[in-house]
Amino acid sequence: MRRFPQYVALAAYVVFLAFPLLWLLSTALKTPQEMALADPTWIPREPTLANFADAFGEQDLVGAAARSLGVALAASLITVLISLPAAYAMARYRGLVNKIAIGWVLVSQVFPFILIIIPLFMILRDLDLVNTLPGLVVVHVTFTLPFALWMLQGYVRAVPPELEEAAAVDGATRLRSIASVVAPLLAPGVVATLLFAFISSWNEFMFALVILQNPDVMTLPLTLVRFTGPEGVARLGPLAAASLMATIPSLIFFAIIQRRLKSGLMAGAVKG
Amino acid sequence: MTATATRPAPPRRPHARPRRVSRQTREMWLLMLPALVPVLLFSVGPLLYGIGLAFTDARNTRNHETSFIGLENLTELLTAEDFWSSFRIGMIWAVSVTGLQFLAALGLALLLNENLRFRGVARVLAVVPWAMPPVVIGLMWKLVYHPDAGILNGLLGTHVNWLADFSLALPAIIVVGVWTGMPQTTVVLLAGLQGVPRELYEAGEVDGAGRWRRFWNITLPQLRPVIVAITSLDFVWNINQFGLVYVLTQGGPGGQTRLPMLFAYEEAFRYRFAGYASMLGLAMAIVVLAALGLYLWRQLRETR
């Protein structure tokens, strides 16, 4: 058993990675009575879905989920709509602009958010967009844009320009060749970028925290954080259930892109 | 960007006439415009404005006469006890999370690169934290650390309030930081491992190099560029971390987990010292850039 230590190590990783997840699931399936027991149990004695129903019964949570959905849909659609032409330009006419755009993607990673959020808050306040969902959409679009651009221009680059040239030779106008040749080939990339933008917005917490201070307009991550009060363990079950449900969109996203992850990055060097 | 180098820009084409060039440029700008406007208005603009604010006494309230005060914010910052303690905590957090994350991810990537059974399970699990909203990760770990209903106290038979304990809160959130950041690092390192040419290992084996020597003399040097890139990125992400720790502790107990960004957030939005908080952000940006520059410079010099 030369490989024994390796299996022990792998098991340790699996335990470390899995145990908080299992605990979240376990908490979500427990009754309030069991939550109050002195000795926490791994496996719920009477597994119940009541917590999920309770989470749905909370007006705050349902409203927040609806608002999050609206913001994420609007932000992802706008992001893709405005970054598609720019991505096309970046991929087809390479040059200074392209380098500046890539530089901006990097710079936006390094600068602390506080340097941007304070003036941004002041600008949005002057535009009366603080405490409004459109205000948050604007911010999400702006901050998803660099990475969406980067993704999309990669997809455009993968479409050979010769195809467009061939269409042009056949007498198609530029717009027509884009619509009938480039667009179909670009569709999977556009979907991936849409999903990415949607998830970024759905999960986003920091900007929402600053911009939405009124509980009536808060998005799901904010409402989840406010959900735990000082009243002890009674509401932990519904909180766990709601947290699990808030993860579903991201899980769908990863399920869709996982094949790419697998073939691209996660592929085994050794045949399994 | 190898493609940039191999494909000359269209205007350089011999047959292109100046008028055509300008049409193409105009077309390009027209296509860029819809993306450019929001980035300039809500990202580049605010960034420059924020840097400017750092040198004023701006308050985050309406009807405040803002005036230029030069470096006063900086001198105030450098003499503030609060800032230094927050800075120290931020450094401990960023360095230890980045370091532990790297070691843990390297171990996992090496295991996943082996032909082991159950590798698939570990692979899926290794990506899950990536797929979770940061707020949910924070809440989930709050449940794990919960003093009454948490599993950690149940497992250890203790009655510790992990996130409210002065000496345990920081280590506790560091564990969460490592758990959260491991997937990206693992995936990147694994991709790097798979890019190491197999011939090198075969040659090493022929030369009689053992497992450990092969790791030390082949794997690590080959991985170096990837390691430098991912640890730099991790460090920047960690030092700028906000949401996760805000959800877990809000900087408590008694400021023991108040990372620089939480400190800045409080100054800006609770006490409304916009100018002061901007200077804090600017100072952190400079520290990060300097640390990054030094690290990358040393790495580059060593590889020469």
How far is A270 from chain B, CA to nearest CA, in Å?
6
CA-CA distance, B47 to B40, in Å (whole number)?
10
Distances (CA, A) of B252 to B52, B83, B262, B284: 31, 15, 10, 21
The interface pTM score, or ipTM, of the predicted complex is: 0.86
Tell me what pLDDT residue B28 has: 81
Q: How far apart are CA B60 and CA A145, in angstroms?
A: 27
Q: Could you give the CA distance from residue A13 to residue A30 in angstroms, rounded to a whole number?
A: 26
Condensed to tens digits (0 to 9), the pLDDT of residues A43-75 reads 888 888 888 888 888 778 889 999 999 999 999
Q: Does B191 touch chain A (CB under 8 A)?
A: yes
The region of weakest confidence among A77-86, A129-138, A170-179, B265-274 is A170-179
pLDDT in tens, A8-36: 999 999 999 999 999 999 989 988 888 77
So what's the pLDDT on residue B154? Answer: 83
Q: What is the pLDDT of residue B21?
A: 62
pLDDT at residue A211 greater than cutoff 80: yes
Distance CA B159, CA B136 (A): 24
Token pair recorded at residue A259: 């094949």
Question: What digits encode the pLDDT tens for the residues A143-164?
Answer: 888 888 888 888 888 888 888 8
Q: Is B193 on the interface with A (CB under 8 A)?
A: yes
Alpha-carbon distance of A59 to A61, in angstroms, equals 6
Lowest mean pLDDT among A77-81, A125-129, A180-184: A180-184
Minimal CA separation from B228 to chain A, in Å: 16
pLDDT for residue B244? 93
State the nearest Cα–Cα gap between B199 and chain A, in angstroms.
Answer: 13
| Among B119, B133, B269, beta carbon nearest to A210 | B269
CA distance A25 to B181: 21
Q: pLDDT confidence of A270, banded at 50, 70, 90?
A: very low
CB-based contact, A31 to chain B, within 8 Å: no
- Closest CB to A250: pick one of B131, B182, B261: B131
Average pLDDT by consecutive 10-residue portion of chain B (304 residues)?
44 49 78 86 88 88 78 88 93 96 94 84 83 91 88 85 91 95 90 87 85 87 89 90 92 89 91 90 90 85 71
- With 0.80 as the threshold, say if the pTM is over it: yes
Mean pLDDT value across residues A80-91: 89
Alpha-carbon A61 to chain mean position:
19
B150 touches chain A (CB under 8 A): yes
pLDDT band for position A259 (cuts 50, 70, 90)? low
Q: What is the pLDDT of residue A230?
A: 57
Q: Which residue has the higher pLDDT, B31 or A256?
A: B31
